[in-house]
Structure 1
Amino acid sequence: MGLRDILRAAATLAALVTLGFSFVGVKMNDPPEQSRSPLTGFPTWHGTIPNEDKEVNYAFVLAALLFTVGASYLSHRATKSPSRSLTGFVTLSTGNEESSVQVNELIQYYIDATTISVVGYIFFDVGKIWAVVGVLHNLLEVALLLTFLQGGRVTKVSFGLYLFVYVCLVILFSVYLDWPKDAIFFRWQGLCSDFGLVIMFVRIFISTKKQLEAFGNRDLHDEELARAQSVVERLAQEQERSGSIDALAIHHPKAGDRIAHTAGPSSATVAVNSPLDYLQSGLKKFVALPPTPPQSHQPKDRSPESTPRSQHQAHFDGETVHVLVGDDSANVDANDCTRPVVRTLSKDKSIWGVEWYNPNQLLILIAASVFHLVGNVLVTIWPRSMYALAAFQFSYGVVFPLYAYYLYVDNHALRQTKVYLPQFTKVKTFTVICLTFIGATLTIRLALYFSTRPASGSVF
């Protein structure tokens, strides 16, 4: 726990408290008259929309439904029969690595729950009854956040308890609060999870990019390199079990030892000045050598030229890097086994292809969460604008096909990929929670501000 982290947490808490005081004096004694659901006749969580074109509105709703249903179908197809090894979520503080199976399942359920909420909207419109269905959408967002906090896999019994309490509280407050407090509360808690997903995906992207770049940075602090040592040893064991390369003897040489590497016909000798140098060499091997899938597990009808692959080779700020690769028939021993050799690659070379570079596949998740957040923010601040409502509904046609596309990429279009989760210390987690509250609360505050202006109408 550093002083900088504590100061950031204090600053975000102070900003949240200050924002809370801005609600003092806001009056909601004269809320607008609620519209009625055209099918059920129950009150909704919005007033009448001036110059509303119901035909256009229903067209956008139907488009959102078709896109979410299509995304749900494609997500099930993408995760049903993976054609490659899945992404591994690595926790650097412990060295644990979890497959992305559970995260992918939650994303798939997230798309399904959103489809259900859209169907509920068609029947009930947004209101107290719809909240019982719509909360499933937010529930899966919270489940994704908790899963990432636990290292990419549910590891604690409290996971289910948190979700149960969350659902109960949201339904109770949404049902028993009076208009418009019920609508404001439901919108606020949904925005919290929306902001939380954006922050989480951005942090994971930055953490992964930083770690991949740090593997070749000799100026990195010893502590940061040491955190990844257990990951290196774990991968070496995986490589030995998979048979992709010969067993690697892991030892910690003393200062002054020298390690010989074979580079084609010639050999090079690299001085090891400290265990840190050896560890750095191991880290480069970790990035460069994911286990090669057996031939029987290769995708059918898929040529190497047409399959995007992730960059798991050395790419370290222009530095020339030694990587282990399987050589051709020129390096076959007496037992007809291919020997691993060390080759030198420049920063512009790639042994896996150039179409997909780790962690660029995470940009799909960032784009999806940002589009969804923007749509929700617009319809919250300007709920009586047909343009904002259309943007919100149209966003569903972009967001959830993007999530389905990520599942396809993760299951079919990449080699095995390592994603490095950021540090989830108590102070940093508290700071992120405050940031999500600030984003959601600021959006509601802006909505209340514009609702007091005659040309803007009400919040909902």
Structure 2
Amino acid sequence: MSFRSWLAIAVISLVLVCLLLSFPREFDVPEQARSRWTGYLAWHPEIIDFDQQKGDAFTLLSITLMGVLGYLCIKWTCKTNLSPKYVSCFYKNGVSIPTTLFNQLISMYIFMTFIAAIAYFVLDVGKVWAVWGLLHNMLEIAILLVLHNNGKIKSNWFFVWMGLYMLVTSVFGTWLDWPNDGIYFKIQGLCTDWAFWLQFTRIYLTTRKNLGSDTSAQIPFNTSPPVANDSNNEFYPRIVEHPQQLLLLVLGSFIHVIGNIANSVWISSAVAFYIFQLSYCTTFPLLAFYIYLDTHCTGINGHKRIYLPDTSRGKVVIVTLCAFVLAFATMRIAFFVPPS
């Protein structure tokens, strides 16, 4: 690693250590709320001025959107007869890898979050819900690992890391007592959420930098004229400039982070809860729209090339530490915010 990488790692590590040391050793622990359906203790206190009807409406809206869009995305990405002209490719070091696996994981991510949201509606967030909540975070880890491995699964270690993540997170989430169990689960989730946004942002910037002003990277939509009695022909807008469609991933992951920040910092606020649910209603349609574009659009001259960022050891450590700093900073801010 270069001197600059070592210096960056040292500085970010110092910031992380200072953050950890700044957490109060003693603090007022709020009383846990209970699930209205099961009576299980939840990982949050009673929400002040909470309108149950509004909360259910937002929750059911997000569940409906994720269920429908998750199904459609899985259908789009698992088509065996998908034309090669619609397939994007990750490009790094002269090697192109189709984005097929990445798109399938994004689709599964949407659908698994749909399952986790149903479990939340029935159980509320807590130890029992975490069994399903892990599915959401597990797919985020899987997507990050695939991006790190240039768009593919290189070895069986992928499944080992996934299994270890599920085992460790499940054990700690179950074994720890309130509020440490909820804090632990929230922090590990924020780490993956921030890493998600950081990686998607790096991919967009790297692709834009490498493509430069290459106008051949434009993506036309299907514009074939409609044919009578042919249900496969539809009207679409004409073009989207590549790599602008990647901004859907950046924006979606950022909105997801904002929703989680609101729900983490203002844990007993009804408004924060509504923002959290609305973030899901926005994030996953954006991800689904990206999947739609990537499976229904073709480049004018060849494949849509997506350049992956540097995955050297130094860069990976820096990005990981940044995700940890941002996650712990989010939780640290929560200790400054009094109950609503």
Query: Normalising by the residue count of structure 1, what TM-score does the alignment of the two structures yield?
Result: 0.67
* 1:426 paired residue number: 313
Determine helix, strand or coil for the equivalent of 1:90: strand
Gaps of 5+ in 1: 216-283, 291-298, 309-354
Q: Find the aligned partners of 2:167 and 2:188 in 1 and give their Cα distance.
A: 13
The one of 221, 225, 233 aligned to 1:301: 233
What corresponds to 2:14 in structure 1? 14
1:33 to 21, 31, 34: 31
CA offset digits 1:148-179 (Å, max 9, x no partner): 00001111221000000000111100001010
Post-superposition shift, 1:307? 5.8
1:410 to 294, 306, 316: 294
Name the SS for the 1:449 alignment partner.
coil
Which structure's CA Rg is the greater one?
1
Whether 2:128 is the aligned partner of 1:129: answer yes
RMSD: 2.2
Q: Displacement of 1:80 after TM fit?
A: 4.1
SS in 2 for 1:441: helix
Q: Distance in 2 between matches of 1:52 and 1:421?
A: 44
Deviations 1:276-296 (A, max 9, x none): xxxxxxxx9xx6799xxxxxx
Aligned match of 1:447 in 317, 334, 337?
334
Distance 1:434 1:289 in 2: 35
Quick one: structure 1 residues 157 and 400, their matched pair in 2 at CA, closer, same or farther if it must change by over 3 Å?
A: same
- The answer for the alignment partner of 2:282 in structure 1 is 398
Residue matched to 1:49: 47
Counterpart CA distance in 1 for 2:298 and 2:326 is 34
Percent identity between the two aligned chains: 34
Deviation, structure 1 residue 56: 1.3
Deviation at 1:3, TM superposition (A): 2.4
Aligned equivalent of 1:211 = 210
Q: What SS does structure 1 have at the residue aligned with 2:154?
A: coil
Call closer, same or farther: CA 1:124–1:213 in 2, change over 3 Å: same
Tell me the matched-pair count: 324
Give the 3-state SS of the residue equivalent to 2:91 in structure 1: strand
Take 1:200 and 1:116, find their aligned partners in 2: how far apart are those partners? 25
Residue type of the alignment partner of 2:190 = L
Q: Pairwise mapping of residues 225-236 of structure 1 onto structure 2 (< 5 A)?
A: none
Corresponding residue of 2:223: none
* Structure 1 residues 60-79: aligned runs within 5 Å: 60-79=58-77
**Which amino acid counterpart does residue 142 of structure 2 have in structure 1?**
A
Task: Trace 1:259-274 onto structure 2 (pairs within 5 A).
Answer: none
Query: 3-state DSSP class of the match of 1:89?
Result: strand
Change (3 A) 1:7 1:156: same
CA contact (8 A) 1:117 1:137 kept: yes
Cα displacement (A) at 1:98:
0.7
Which residue matches 1:97?
Answer: 96
- Report if aligned partners of 2:78, 2:104 keep a CA contact under 8 Å in 1: no
Spell out the pairing of 1:199-348 with structure 2 (5 A cutoff). Answer: 199-213=198-212, 301=233, 306=236, 308=238
Change (3 A) 1:178 1:417: same
Give the match's secondary structure for 2:336. helix
1:383 Cα deviation from its structure 2 partner: 1.1
Q: TM-score, normalization: structure 2?
A: 0.90
1:85 correspondence with 2:83: no
1:307 and 1:413 in contact (8 A); partners too: no
Cα distance in 2 for partners of 1:208, 1:7 equals 26
Q: Which residue in 1 is equivalent to 2:173?
A: 174
- Cα distance in 1 for partners of 2:180, 2:273 equals 21
Separation (CA, whole Å) in 2 of partners of 1:435 and 1:384: 27
Q: Which has the higher helix share?
A: 2
- Quick check: 388-397 or 83-92, which moved more? 83-92
Structure 1 residues 101 and 45, CA gap change in structure 2 (3 angstroms): same
Query: What is residue 224 of structure 2 aligned with on the other side?
Result: none
Which residue identity does 2:30 align to in structure 1? Answer: P
Amino acid at match of 1:3: F
Q: Aligned partners of 1:174 and 1:66: how far apart in 2?
A: 28
Give the AA of the match of 1:145: L
- Unpaired segments ≥5 residues, structure 2: 220-230
* Equivalent in the alignment of 2:322: 435
Runs of 4+ in 1 over 6 A off after TM superposition: 287-290
Report if aligned partners of 2:261, 2:330 keep a CA contact under 8 Å in 1: yes
| Matches of 2:171 and 2:289, distance apart in 1 | 35
* CA contact 1:356–1:414 (8 Å) conserved in 2: no
In the other structure, the counterpart of 2:145 is 146
